[in-house]
Structure 1
Amino acid sequence: MSLKIAVIGCGSIAKHRHLPEYAANKHVEITAVCDIVGERAEEAAVKYEAKAYTDYKELLKQDDIDAVSVCLPNYLHAPVSVDALNAGKHVLCEKPMATSAEEADQMIEAAQRSGKKLMIGHNQRFVNSHQKVRELIASGAVGKVYSFRTTFGHGGPEGWSADGKDSWFFKKDEAFIGAMGDLGVHKADLIRYLLQDEFVEVGAFVETSAKENANVDDNATLILKSEKGTIGTLAASWAYTAKEDNSTIIYGEKATLRLEDDPAYSLVVQYTNGETVKYELGAIQSNDEGGQTTTHVIDHFIDSIQNDTTPLIDGEEGKKSLAIILAALESVETKRIYSLEK
């Protein structure tokens, strides 16, 4: 039985990720698309033989839609997801899931009330090198993890977003936060997943130095400390103008792990005994040309609906990753290290 899917928001993430990946899944029928810009909705509707809407509330009234992707500016993630869950639809929401802990709670509660799936689109967990490293750390092969540095940066959303330099990404009232919400929250989610550890303290510096048209951060550096005592840095930037950097390095007792850091090998493990193991595990998805095209997010979402399983990144997981970014904002505001509640 095929699931009937709607995509709300037909900008770049829908165009390059959600719509083609739904179309490639044999268990899915794209039934409806929605965008406040009518031409965008029409274009997607023609391409995927779906019905076009400009008002998402009209779309949610359709009984035959099983699930929706929410691909909208950040400030709309929570209200539209809650409306969709209340309308009895499963929801895959882009990251960051919300602009506050309260909004995240509203989404989680709506999912619980409706009995529908809520998944947040943190695609980094599905990258082969990242899954391999999680296994290596869990197996004890790395020993105690001492430190890490994780980075996600590129030249900025103007090269990617449907509206270029006029994009909502640069507007605080729509985006809420800049590079930290666009890219940093991905790495916050990833490092939690890799270390299977939660963070208890966060310090941050953010700056708007590269984008004259922005009133949100375009460079952010966070210092994190985990429950197990691991410390490390997380950098998010829209100012890596020459080349995207999506790398993570983990420093452990028995090995150093270099993920997505070597152009030829997606994972290089340097053991303290002098041995080096190089893994070719396929490229990470990228906004650069020639990047991996499938994120596996859509397939996982569909599987969780069909098999009635909890998505890998459900609302609770999404909220924990968001909490790190919210803590960073508090740190910037107060110029203090922010302590996350246990």
Structure 2
Amino acid sequence: MTGPRLRAGVVGCGPIAQRGHLPGLARSKKAQVVAIADLDPKALEKTAKRFHVQKTFTDYKIMLDEKLDIVHVCVPNHLHSRVAIDAMGHGSNVLVEKPLATSVEEAKQMVKVAQEMNVKLCEAKQYRYIPAVQRALRIYSEGRLGKLVSMQAQWHTDIPLTWSHAEWYYDPQKSGGGIVSDIGIHMLDLLLLFGGPVKRVSAAGGDYLGTMGFDTSVQALLEFSGGGTGFLDVSWLAPYSKMLDIVGTAGIATIDMQYYSLLHANYSRNPMRDFFHDARKIMRTARRVVNKDFFDSLPALYAALIDDLADSITSNKPPPITGEIAIRALELKEAIYKSIADKREVLVVA
């Protein structure tokens, strides 16, 4: 892409805008933020000062008159579809924070509007841009791991009180669910990225504490249509762990999602190889800490996503993470919740 950077506006100045979208735009070579909108004037003023934004709006609909190339939707989940549809109605392309919507029905309506308005609808699934994930996908796509046997996606962490205290975040009617809808949707996306469409799912879990009102720990077994299985293990009640394993007939790829490191790929493990891989991991992490990249990795992922979206706009190609891709993860999320509620295996919509 050559020429001036695309004009971007951001709706919502909450945590994901502050930690992901706005720093990502600051790093982007192909888009720049020119306007922000939020209901809270104090949040607007503080955010505008931090990210050097001149135009601020307490009504996002007025901001949409700024002829923006891209609108970043960073509002509470239950408002994603409304804001995105309004933006697309003004002829803007949109980047919607995950999940695309709180339901498959809403997401399909968003896709329909994008097609009618001939604009790009993209979901923010930035973990696809982790270099270790992209390297593992390349190794897998080249056939070096053989035929898929199984995958495991694990993300254990604390209940995200340090991320947001907003009421909607802990209301399943507004957030779309609990842990599966929040961090689980990222891991489902990676399982789909490697494994393809899912035929059926069997899940267990829920509100293990019995006091939260939403799912805090869920495990799900997936059967891929093309063969192989996947296992999702997400919990807000366990010590931190974030891993992705891809097991094939010819090799295994293990990704440490916490440190963005590809630990093993395409060979059998043994103690000596484990030692050298761990040593290299420590050295890479040390370099990232020294360079301050370790504490600032999320903006780089968003910047890469934003640049890809900008390229798709200027070249009139599909966005990097289409609405249709987002719908697959939402269908899987809904199937998991149905399996838990009905205590049975559920067929997933193809």
Contact persistence 2:31–2:306 (CA under 8 A): no
- The 3 A distance-change label for structure 1 pair 115 and 330 is same
Higher deviation after alignment, 203-212 or 86-95: 203-212
| Aligned position for 1:252 | 248
- Percent identity reads 29
Q: Where do residues 23-38 of structure 1 align in structure 2 (5 Å cutoff)? A: 23-38=26-41
Unaligned runs of 5+ in 2: none
The letter for the 2-side match of 1:209 is Y
Residues 1:271 and 2:276 are matched in the alignment = no
- Poorly superposed stretches of 4+, deviation over 4 Å: 261-265, 272-283
The letter for the 2-side match of 1:15 is Q
Q: TM-score, normalised by structure 2?
A: 0.87
Distance in structure 2 (CA, Å) of the matches to 1:222 and 1:179: 12
Q: Where do residues 318-337 of structure 1 align in structure 2 (5 Å cutoff)? A: 318-337=326-345
- The 3 A distance-change label for structure 1 pair 261 and 70 is closer
Q: Deviations over 1:102-159 (max 9, x none)?
A: 1111111111111111110011211111111112222121112111110123223211
Q: Where do residues 101-250 of structure 1 align in structure 2 (5 Å cutoff)? A: 101-161=104-164, 164=165, 166-195=166-195, 197-209=196-208, 212=211, 214-240=212-238, 242-243=239-240, 245-250=241-246
Distance in structure 1 (CA, Å) of the matches to 2:102 and 2:72: 18
Contact persistence 2:67–2:92 (CA under 8 A): no
Query: Which residue of 44, 53, 56 corresponds with 1:49?
Result: 53
SS at match of 2:336: helix
Query: Which residue of 282, 294, 297 corresponds with 1:292?
Result: 297
| Aligned position for 1:58 | 62
The letter for the 2-side match of 1:336 is R
Higher deviation after alignment, 166-175 or 99-108: 166-175
Distance in structure 1 (CA, Å) of the matches to 2:194 and 2:60: 36
| Aligned position for 2:6 | 3
Q: TM-score, normalised by structure 1?
A: 0.88
Higher helix share: 2
| Aligned position for 2:83 | 80
Distance in structure 2 (CA, Å) of the matches to 1:67 and 1:265: 31
Q: Deviations over 1:233-290 (max 9, x none)?
A: 10222223x43x221112221112211169694331262497959586977x9xx972
Contact persistence 1:158–1:167 (CA under 8 A): no
Relative contact order: is structure 1 or structure 2 higher (C-alpha 8 Å, sep ≥ 6)? Answer: 2
Query: Which residue of 83, 88, 92 corresponds with 1:89?
Result: 92
The letter for the 1-side match of 2:236 is W
